[in-house]
Amino acid sequence: MKYALISDIHGNLEALEAVLEAIASRPVDGYICLGDIVGYGANPRECLERVRGLNPIAVTGNHDAAACDRTDIGYFSEQARAAALWTREQLTLSERGYLASLPLRAEAEGLSLVHSSLNEPEKWHYILSQFEALPTFNLLSGKACFIGHSHVPVVFEEKEGRVTTHPPGMVMKKDARYVINVGSVGQPRDGDPRAAFSLWDSESGSVAVIRVEYEIKPAQEKILQAGLPAMLAYRLSVGQ
Ligand code: ZN
């Protein structure tokens, strides 16, 4: 089976549509969404509708949980909190209900799916280094765990108890296990402003990260028009 993995869309409709168009030209059997469909961007409802239409295997992200009042936003940055409160106001009861129904963890063909980390997923830990990946490897029962949350596509590989960090894109080795960040559709933070998603072939074990150009300007203008913090528009141009 071939899967398209999308994560951290963050209400950025322009980025999501460009990604879905790029996926449409490829043979894909199913979709996986690793959370944060909403939050930051100006089109949370439209993004929710598109993602629900894909019928994905999906997990919740911290911004999805914030939008349906399912997580404490006290630790959010000021800009994230402003965006979360704005997003909550935009959504209908049924949209908040869908977000509230998303689990913290899921599985696809024996691999784990989680937004943040397998340990305490409700606490939204970031996995930015091989050391931060260790607790997730300790809880991993299958071959790999796909994650989102940091908006930085990266591969952590564990072999004989040793974890190493690799750039995205690889074929899984027989004698190793993996924690794989699939990249962010709507707010990349690796210095490349292009939207990112991943393709996973469960037979060959290959995982590729694809980057897609999209119309950043209209997404930025809508953020400003909505009265959301200007920084949330600016960061899209620089991929941070
Ligand atoms: Zn996110």
Q: Helix 13-24 vs helix 216-225: angle between axes, to the nearest 10 degrees?
A: 150
Residue that is written with structure tokens 């990266």 in the block:
154
Tell how far the Cα of 137 is from the centroid of ligand 1, in angstroms.
Answer: 21
Domain boundaries, the chain: 2-238
Give me the chain's average pLDDT, please: 97
pLDDT tens across 55-73, in order? 999 999 999 999 999 999 9
CATH superfamily for domain 2-238: Metallo-dependent phosphatases (3.60.21.10)
Q: What share of the chain in percent tops pLDDT 70?
A: 100
Residue 160 CA, distance from chain mean position:
29
Average pLDDT over residues 156-166: 96
How confident is the model at residue 156, as a pLDDT?
A: 98
Largest distance between two CA atoms of the chain: 52
How confident is the model at residue 41, as a pLDDT?
A: 98
Tell how far the Cα of 160 is from the centroid of ligand 1, in angstroms.
Answer: 31
Alpha-carbon separation of residue 61 from 35, 69, 123, 213 (angstroms): 4, 12, 11, 24
Tell how far the Cα of 70 is from the centroid of ligand 1, in angstroms.
Answer: 16
How confident is the model at residue 148, as a pLDDT?
A: 98
Tell how far the Cα of 177 is from the centroid of ligand 1, in angstroms.
Answer: 24
Tell how far the Cα of 153 is from the centroid of ligand 1, in angstroms.
Answer: 12
Residue 174: exposed, middle, or buried by beta-carbon count in 10 A (0-12, 13-18, 19+)?
A: exposed
- Contact in structure between 108 and 57 (CB atoms under 8 Å): yes
Tell how far the Cα of 190 is from the centroid of ligand 1, in angstroms.
Answer: 13
- Contact in structure between 30 and 24 (CB atoms under 8 Å): no
Average pLDDT over residues 155-181: 97
Tell how far the Cα of 174 is from the centroid of ligand 1, in angstroms.
Answer: 31
Tell how far the Cα of 149 is from the centroid of ligand 1, in angstroms.
Answer: 5
How confident is the model at residue 98, as a pLDDT?
A: 97
How confident is the model at residue 89, as a pLDDT?
A: 96
Residue 180 CA, distance from chain mean position:
11
Tell how far the Cα of 175 is from the centroid of ligand 1, in angstroms.
Answer: 31
